[in-house]
Amino acid sequence: MNKDILRKYLIFSLCVAAPSIITSILIQYILCLKSNLTDTIILTLFFCSTSTLLFSRIITLILQISISFLLPHAILTNGLLKKSMLDVAISSNISEVVQYYKSIPTIQVLYSLILSILFIVFFIYQCKNIKSKSKSKKIIFIFLIILFAFISKKVVYMTYYDDINSIVNEYNALRIDKLPTTTWEIKNISKKYNTYVVIIGESMRSDFMSLYGFKEKTTPHIDEIPKKYITNYISTAINTTLSVPRILAHSNNKGKIREEDNIITLAKMAGFKTYWISSQGYTGKYNISTSRISNFADYKHFNDWDDYSLLPIVKQVLRSSEKKVVFIHIVGSHEYPCYRLNDYGIIYNSPHGELINCYLSTYNKTDDFINEVYGSLKENGDTFSLAYFSDHALNIIGKDNDYKIYRNDAISQSYKIPFFIASSDDKNTTKVDITRSAYNFFNYFPEWIGVTTNLTPPGYDIFSNKSDNPVVMSYDEKLKFLSEKSDGLTASEIYK
């Protein structure tokens, strides 16, 4: 008799308690909830109760496998329950999800597979060893679990309702077209150029550009264009959702943005016609952070195919004689880079693997794109100034010919991006050896287009010889000094 009781307890512990505890801990970690004993007990008891019916076992197994495959992303971002993660999740398509999982380190995918197999084994054991309870016992058991949850002082729902509700409200706010009235005030206007172009690249690191000393000619056209460029330009944040709005709009010393005070609105107030032309169409379909600000442009065009497909529209816009500011947001070197090349093709055949060869090829493709835009501006014969920078960079891990792109907000290479300005009156290239934060493009933009405002310092020069001590925004939407980040692999270490 005692052996039978002991056997039942062992089976219960193995088949029910163990997977329930693992599931409750994983859920709290993945959703970045503050794990504590009370909530872990409540969740564990809940998942234990699901073992009483076959249907609930199946639903629980599906949940367990799902959270197993969310684990790698939660490890990267320290939890998924964040506005920036909601933006990315909702604006990504199936192809991008597949590409993302291809970029995850193999060991982390292995964790997901092992967990999934364990949960399946537990499920099989439950089906073989745990018989369904009588109807009355099941009802009493489930009632006691529900009662225990409600009388607990720290029921999971009540504990985290405010946090979850706040994030949902923030996301809903992102979908509202109308923003509060801007607080911009223009004090003086002295326009220098007829046309201004801002090209926002994607996922390009400065150290892989031949402009910045990389051994392969990845940016031959940019190298030859007369310009001013900054040697150590630092992105505002780890990904597009967080970085681009903080480049284009006012933000305080905690990184909180006032989207209504954006540079597109300022350009319109200064008498420029404004254009937003983007190949990041998947973002354009959803009214999220970057697209909300782009909505302030007089003219908007989105596609989700290829950067080159933008050129006919861009060239048509540039031919107009009106004073204008044209924002061009390209896909560039976005992961997975081989998918970004389309008909351009892989032009490198190095021994460092397909990913590196594709990544470098996207640089040449972007270089060709910029050259086409610059050439169109020169051809029109009007005065112009063109700025190029990337929204953020990428961290690369691996060795030999097995490299992967792995975004990591703790690595400094994730933020080091190119920046240059090429104007119609530039005669040669000037290298400005300073460290500059991309947060200061907001301060420079009014000076660049020839206006003085109430929100930016008068006469601010982004090329001044005084360096910044940049702060960057991580996935948790907190600002940290770049100097606190660790060093990852540099271009020269990867491409020996």
pTM of the complete model beyond 0.85: no
| Residue 455: how many other CB atoms lie within 10 Å | 15
| Residue 137: how many other CB atoms lie within 10 Å | 11
The mean per-residue pLDDT over the stretch 28-44 comes to 73
Q: Is the pLDDT of residue 156 over 60?
A: no
Dihedral sign (CA 150, 154, 160, 165) = positive
Q: Is the pLDDT of residue 368 over 80?
A: yes
- Helix H or strand E segment including 115: helix 106-129
Angle at 278 between CA 273 and CA 281, to 5 degrees: 135
Six-digit token pair at 467? Answer: 């360096």
How far is Cα 158 from Cα 161, in angstroms, rounded to an integer?
5
Exposure pattern of 3-24 as b/e (b: 16+ CB <10 Å)? eeeeeeeeebeebbbebbbbbb
Q: Which residues contact 254 (CB under 8 A, 6 or more apart)?
A: 479
Q: Is the pLDDT of residue 144 over 70?
A: no
Q: Is the pLDDT of residue 290 over 80?
A: no
| Residue 383: how many other CB atoms lie within 10 Å | 16
Kindly state the DSSP code that residue 321 receives in the 8-state scheme.
Answer: -
What confidence category does residue 304 fall into, taking pLDDT thresholds of 50, 70 and 90? confident
Over the stretch 241-266, which tens digit does the pLDDT of each residue have? 889 999 999 999 888 989 899 999 99
Q: Cα 141 to the chain's mean position, in Å? A: 45
Angle at 258 between CA 256 and CA 263, to 5 degrees: 120
Q: What are phi and psi of 452, to 5 degrees?
A: -110, 135
How far is Cα 358 from Cα 355, in angstroms, rounded to an integer?
5
The predicted structure's pLDDT at residue 221: 98
The mean per-residue pLDDT over the stretch 40-56 comes to 75
More confident residue, 172 or 356: 356
Six-digit token pair at 273? Answer: 């016609």
Q: Is the pLDDT of residue 361 over 90?
A: yes
Q: Is 181 helix (H, G, I), strand (E, B) or coil?
A: coil
More confident residue, 100 or 446: 446
Q: Residue 353 in contact with residue 336, Cβ under 8 Å?
A: no
| Residue 97: how many other CB atoms lie within 10 Å | 11
Distances (CA, A) of 475 to 34, 73, 236, 245, 323: 17, 11, 12, 15, 38
Q: Residue 228 in contact with residue 432, Cβ under 8 Å?
A: yes
How far is Cα 8 from Cα 17, in angstroms, rounded to an integer?
12
Q: Residue 22 in contact with residue 7, Cβ under 8 Å?
A: no
Distances (CA, A) of 12 to 5, 9, 131: 10, 5, 11
How far is Cα 364 from Cα 108, in angstroms, rounded to an integer?
32
How far is Cα 334 from Cα 326, in angstroms, rounded to an integer?
22
The mean per-residue pLDDT over the stretch 299-322 comes to 92
Six-digit token pair at 238? Answer: 């780890």
Residues facing 384 on adjacent strands: 195
Over the stretch 7-23, which tens digit does the pLDDT of each residue have? 666 766 677 788 888 88
Over the stretch 440-482, which tens digit does the pLDDT of each residue have? 999 999 999 999 999 999 999 999 999 999 999 998 888 999 9
The predicted structure's pLDDT at residue 283: 46
Q: Is 471 helix (H, G, I), strand (E, B) or coil?
A: strand
Q: Classify residue 174 as exposed, middle or buried by CB count within 10 Å of its CB (0-12, 13-18, 19+).
A: buried
How far is Cα 210 from Cα 217, in angstroms, rounded to an integer?
5
Q: Cα 492 to the chain's mean position, in Å? A: 25
Find where tokens 């076959």 sit.
54
Q: Residue 308 in contact with residue 279, Cβ under 8 Å?
A: no
Exposure pattern of 212-235 as b/e (b: 16+ CB <10 Å)? bebebebbebbeebebbbbbbbbb
Q: Residue 187 in contact with residue 266, Cβ under 8 Å?
A: no
Q: Percent of the chain, pLDDT > 70?
A: 77
Six-digit token pair at 231? Answer: 């040697």
Six-digit token pair at 68? Answer: 């197993």
The mean per-residue pLDDT over the stretch 75-103 comes to 59
Q: Is the pLDDT of residue 68 over 80?
A: yes
CA atoms in the 13 A half-sphere facing the CB of 265: 23
How far is Cα 74 from Cα 297, in angstroms, rounded to an integer?
35
The mean per-residue pLDDT over the stretch 380-394 comes to 95
CA nearest to 207, candidates 495, 491, 488: 491
How far is Cα 210 from Cα 213, in angstroms, rounded to an integer?
5
The mean per-residue pLDDT over the stretch 28-39 comes to 71
Find where tokens 């909702």 sit.
90
What confidence category does residue 48 fall into, taking pLDDT thresholds of 50, 70 and 90? confident
The length of the chain in residues reads: 496
More confident residue, 13 or 372: 372
